[in-house]
């Protein structure tokens, strides 16, 4: 049994009488010890997908459909009691904006203590032990003089240091599943590598599964085993990282890879995907990428394409392009 099973999951926001399909029919599984890389442009639904599953989106603002099971437990209902017991203990998240995720009124140590005490068997940990563990966590993610700095408030840290505090808090309870939303955005290259090594080490040590949300396809290629390409709230392509990168089966994946800077194309202008993602999320009919795709025809706009096996024949490699069998690329 997979640790996380998501079937036909959807998050539709309400705006007047028209739904905004931010996430529309996403299905995937995540095994223990596996890292799933989630890529796509801003507005593709990457963060919304996981915030919805964790019950962190308002039920008054959105409708939720589909099913989500974690370790055999149904956590589909965002208001269910079991998701509250899992969140922050067995499932943690590194949020994209540490300035708004950290409480500005509490010292860093207080916020770390809360995360540490949610771990198994640590609810009665004494203050001295908790302080030592908090300092060790900060030291592990590259914050110098950690024993002194844990007494400070978030505004006394730089943006990169606040990001590292978020990483430490997410790792503190030794979770079964870590959702890392752009975990290295504010970090310089050296610290970025250190934080990524710490995340990889935690995955091996605890058998932790990880969903790595990022615009950095190179980082996903290095640390993930499976890659999911989202666009307008739908899966365009998914499969083993090497298969998706070396033999992409969807025009959107090919377009994203073409945008990546390359030393082999030194001096060339950076490529861009023409157009922009739809503001209202996935369309009611047709492929979400059709208006920006050079291969799109009438069939592509007639119905929502279902994920099908990619012509690579590699197990688990799927695509939502109905024209991939025509040998156009």
* Predicted confidence (pLDDT) per residue in 74-107, tens digit: 998 877 778 888 998 999 999 988 778 899 999 9
Strands in the chain per DSSP E: 4-15, 18-30, 35-39, 62-70, 73-74, 91-94, 177-181, 209-213, 226-231, 234-240, 308-309, 318-319
Question: What pLDDT shows up at residue 81?
Answer: 76
The answer, yes or no, to whether residue 121 has pLDDT greater than 70, is no
* Predicted confidence (pLDDT) per residue in 222-260, tens digit: 999 999 999 999 999 999 999 999 999 999 999 999 888
Interatomic CA distance for residues 11 and 27, integer angstroms? 13
Other beta carbons within 10 angstroms of residue 185's beta carbon come to 16
The answer, yes or no, to whether residue 15 has pLDDT greater than 90, is no
The DSSP code for 326 is G
**Residue 66's pLDDT band (cuts 50, 70, 90):** very high
The answer, yes or no, to whether residue 145 has pLDDT greater than 70, is yes
**Residue 271's pLDDT band (cuts 50, 70, 90):** confident
> 52: burial class by Cβ within 10 Å (0-12, 13-18, 19+)?
buried
The DSSP code for 286 is S
**Residue 120's pLDDT band (cuts 50, 70, 90):** low
Sheet holding 62-70, edge to edge: 18-30, 4-15, 62-70, 73-74
Q: What average pLDDT does the segment 118-133 reach? A: 74
* Predicted confidence (pLDDT) per residue in 298-318, tens digit: 999 999 999 999 999 999 999
* Predicted confidence (pLDDT) per residue in 175-224, tens digit: 999 999 999 887 888 888 888 888 998 899 889 999 999 999 999 999 99
- Predicted TM-score of the model (pTM): 0.92
């Amino acid at each position: 049994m997979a640790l996380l099973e998501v079937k036909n999951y959807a998050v539709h926001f309400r705006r007047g009488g028209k739904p905004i399909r931010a996430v529309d029919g996403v299905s995937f599984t995540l095994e223990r010890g596996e890292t799933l890389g989630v890529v796509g442009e801003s507005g593709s639904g990457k963060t919304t997908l996981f915030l919805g599953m964790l019950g962190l989106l308002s039920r008054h603002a959105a409708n939720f459909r589909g099913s989500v099971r974690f370790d055999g437990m149904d956590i589909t209902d965002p208001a269910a009691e079991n998701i509250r017991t899992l969140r922050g203990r067995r499932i943690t998240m590194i949020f994209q904006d540490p300035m708004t995720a950290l409480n500005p009124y509490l010292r860093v140590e207080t916020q770390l203590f809360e995360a540490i005490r949610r771990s198994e068997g640590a609810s009665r940990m004494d203050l001295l032990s908790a302080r030592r563990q908090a300092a060790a966590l900060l030291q592990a993610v590259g914050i110098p003089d950690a024993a002194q700095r844990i007494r400070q408030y978030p505004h006394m840290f730089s943006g990169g240091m606040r990001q590292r505090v978020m990483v430490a808090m997410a790792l503190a309870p030794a979770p079964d599943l870590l959702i890392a939303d752009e975990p290295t955005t504010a970090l310089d290259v050296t610290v970025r590598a250190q934080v990524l090594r710490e995340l990889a080490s935690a995955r091996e040590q605890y058998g932790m599964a990880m969903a790595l949300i990022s615009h950095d396809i190179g980082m996903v290629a290095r640390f993930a085993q499976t890659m999911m390409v989202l666009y307008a709230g739908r899966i365009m392509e998914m499969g083993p990282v090497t298969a998706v990168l070396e033999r992409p089966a969807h025009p959107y994946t090919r377009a994203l890879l073409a945008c990546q800077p390359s030393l082999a194309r030194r001096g060339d202008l950076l490529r861009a995907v023409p157009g922009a993602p739809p503001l209202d999320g996935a369309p009611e009919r047709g492929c979400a990428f059709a208006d920006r795709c050079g291969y799109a025809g009438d069939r592509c706009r007639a119905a929502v394409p279902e994920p099908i096996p990619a012509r690579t024949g590699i197990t688990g490699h799927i695509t939502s392009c109905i024209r991939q069998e025509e040998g156009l690329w």
